[in-house]
Structure 1
Amino acid sequence: MDVLSDVLHRARAGEARIHQLIQRPPWSVQFADPPSLAVVAALGGTASVRLDGEAVLLAGGDIALISRADGYTIADAPDSPPQVVIRGGYKQFIEDGSMAGRQLGPRTYGDGLPGSTVVLHAGYRLRGEVGRRLLAMLPGLAVLPAGPRTRQVLELLSGEVAQEEPGQDAVLGRLLDLVLVLALRALCAQPGDELPHWRGALADPGIGEALRLLHERPAHRWTVAELAASAGQSRSAFAARFSRVVGEPPLGYLTGWRMTLAADLLRETEHSVEAVAREVGYADAFAFSTAFKRAHGVSPSVWRRG
């Protein structure tokens, strides 16, 4: 399994919540306690996403990824005042707001009148340290322009959102995952020196293969020479390139990933500390505890107790 697939799989906590809004301007929805990762797509018309005092415009087919936000607003235009606040999963109409809120179908709300904007909003619940690691890989707000591949999937997703059939949650979840992965791929392909290290790493064939091996077999006693051979490079050239592209040395990355996996195993399973140590590549529980405390600031036992 490649690195991005592995992180997404481990970070997911249940199915994503997906809703569609079909509303004539002016309209505005404020998300007061949003999910840790949200996908917003303009399916018909244009929409605005306001975050931290800045607004970006989405044309038809554009996708916005929003992560780690304390709150954001989706509206027909940047200057439309909020009419509805979503907090704790409940919709609250702001006084004198005129936004229509009737349910038009499964997971679909608004007025549904001619000239309406169609916006898709989906929120992912991410869990544990792997979820935090994924969020750290992403910018707070990224907009991906419409493309033929994402447009096709968005059309399928929009059609499925309005249905209520057996297996619907599974279909919606897979389609949304596809939208997210296509968006992240597009993010990786964007130029710019300011982009996080991981995007360049996944696009580099040799480094990408080494990362895949580290994620596929984190308990293996990897050496830099072994990883360099997998990348078809000399040990020194590989080590220098890995550090430059990823942002840390190969074995430093491996230790960080092991400690991330261990943190979630301690919280989500009843495995003993010794068993967790073996699962992430430590034969000695004492050495594991030392490395874990160095990474997380507390011992494995204290971490497990919360």
Structure 2
Amino acid sequence: MVRQLIQRPPWSLTFAEAPPLTVVATLGGHASIRLGDDARAATARLAAGDIALVAGTGPYTIADDPSTPPQVVISGRRKQVVNASVAAAAAHRSLAARTYGDGSPGATIMLRGAYELRGDVGDRLLGMLPPLAVVPAGPRTRPALDLLAAEVARDEPGQDAVLDRLLDLVLVLALRAWCAEPGPARPAWYRALADPAVGGALRLLHGDPARRWTVAALAAAAGVSRAAFAARFTGLVGEPPLTYLTGWRMTLAADLLRDTDATVAAVARQVGYGDPFAFSVAFKRSRGVSPSAWRSSSVRPGPFPGG
């Protein structure tokens, strides 16, 4: 879900119930973003074209300046005006489809998109991100942002589907730009993808996780010796090839058990186990409970109420 916010200083919006992943982009003007509800916490500055990725469901505040007190608190679909000033009253005035603010000249223009990302596959993505990652403006992300901004205020058939795909594009480009920056927090598997041998093997494992892969088969596909491939894969990814494959299979299985009505045997086959008992043993070793217990204790996700 994407919203465009147009705010004239002074302004400050607190999001009390965030979705698991939020994309905030500053199209024009500047903003500050602070995690948590401590006004003294460190803030990050966003210039025009910058993208912030907020991972986690805790509160965060976006404002024109860190010193501006919260004017509006947004919790799900509920908006509470904290400071009954003209700016606060106008903060969520509807200007057009999916566009809110006061629309005055000199205002900061932002896009905010929310992702649910519930499930184990989503958790793997969230686990690689810090609570707040800022991607500076760049020539690879700006065209996608401009296209998303051009579409967000339109109200045409199928518009939500168009916006969802454009937001996906912005997210992927932002993640790619963030992962490409040097730093210890970057995920090891991203560097591994750039390696011809290991990157190709990762794509094979993700593309066909149910296949009976062996280290020898992966090494042959990569065109290197078994020993050299195993050492290089472990060094770049952080775990041996078949250990990584088992973890990925269990991630897929956890979501299938929660989100579908497929039997345990059917789920086992989908992730590469011909024997449901062997699958159950592997799943319990990974998740601490049997597949049936996991399914009964999991709640299928519903739509996140925030926008």
Q: Is the 8 A contact 1:69 1:140 kept in 2?
A: no
Which string of whole-angstrom CA distances, capped at 9 and with x for unpartnered residues, describes residues 239-285 of structure 1?
11111211111101100111111111111122111111111111111
Q: Is the 8 A contact 2:264 2:276 kept in 1?
A: yes
Match of 2:51 among 63, 67, 78: 63
SS, match of residue 25 in structure 1? coil
Match of 1:34 among 18, 34, 42: 18
Match of 1:185 among 165, 176, 179: 176
Which residue is 1:20 aligned to? Answer: 4
Mapping for residues 291-306 of structure 1, pairs under 5 Å:
291-306=282-297
CA distance in 1, matches of 2:34, 2:271: 41
Match of 2:66 among 54, 78, 82: 78
Which string of whole-angstrom CA distances, capped at 9 and with x for unpartnered residues, describes residues 100-139 of structure 1?
1311001111100111110111111112111111111222
Matched, 1:243 2:234: yes
Matched, 1:102 2:93: yes
CA distance in 2, matches of 1:31, 1:204: 40
Moved more, 256-265 or 145-154: 145-154
SS, match of residue 39 in structure 1? strand
Which residue is 2:81 aligned to? Answer: 93
* Shift of residue 95, structure 1, vs aligned partner: 4.0
Q: Give TM-score scaled by structure 2 length.
A: 0.91
CA distance in 2, matches of 1:149, 1:232: 33
SS, match of residue 19 in structure 1? strand
Moved more, 88-97 or 269-278: 88-97
SS, match of residue 22 in structure 1? strand
Q: Is the 8 A contact 2:31 2:63 kept in 1?
A: yes
Q: Is the 8 A contact 1:157 1:176 kept in 2?
A: yes
SS, match of residue 68 in structure 2? coil
Which residue is 2:223 aligned to? Answer: 232
Return structure 1 stretches of 4+ with deviation > 3 angstroms. Answer: 95-98
* Shift of residue 213, structure 1, vs aligned partner: 0.6
Q: Is the 8 A contact 1:188 1:203 kept in 2?
A: no
Q: Where does the alignment leave 5 or more consecutive residues of structure 1 unmatched?
A: 1-16
Which string of whole-angstrom CA distances, capped at 9 and with x for unpartnered residues, describes residues 129-154 of structure 1?
11111111222211111112211111
* Shift of residue 77, structure 1, vs aligned partner: 1.2
RMSD, matched Cα? 1.3
Q: Is the 8 A contact 1:31 1:85 kept in 2?
A: yes
SS, match of residue 67 in structure 2? coil
Matched, 1:217 2:201: no
CA distance in 2, matches of 1:55, 1:186: 21
CA distance in 2, matches of 1:244, 1:294: 24
Q: Is the 8 A contact 1:30 1:86 kept in 2?
A: yes
Amino acid at match of 2:32: S
Taking only the aligned residue pairs, the percentage that are identical comes to: 66
SS, match of residue 149 in structure 1? coil
* Shift of residue 188, structure 1, vs aligned partner: 2.0
* Shift of residue 69, structure 1, vs aligned partner: 4.0
CA distance in 2, matches of 1:54, 1:205: 40
Amino acid at match of 1:49: I
Q: Where does the alignment leave 5 or more consecutive residues of structure 2 unmatched?
A: 298-307
Amino acid at match of 1:68: G
CA distance in 1, matches of 2:173, 2:226: 33
SS, match of residue 141 in structure 2? helix
Which residue is 2:303 aligned to? Answer: none
SS, match of residue 185 in structure 1? helix
SS, match of residue 305 in structure 1? helix
Which residue is 2:140 aligned to? Answer: 149
Amino acid at match of 2:31: A
Residue correspondences, number? 290
CA distance in 2, matches of 1:137, 1:251: 21
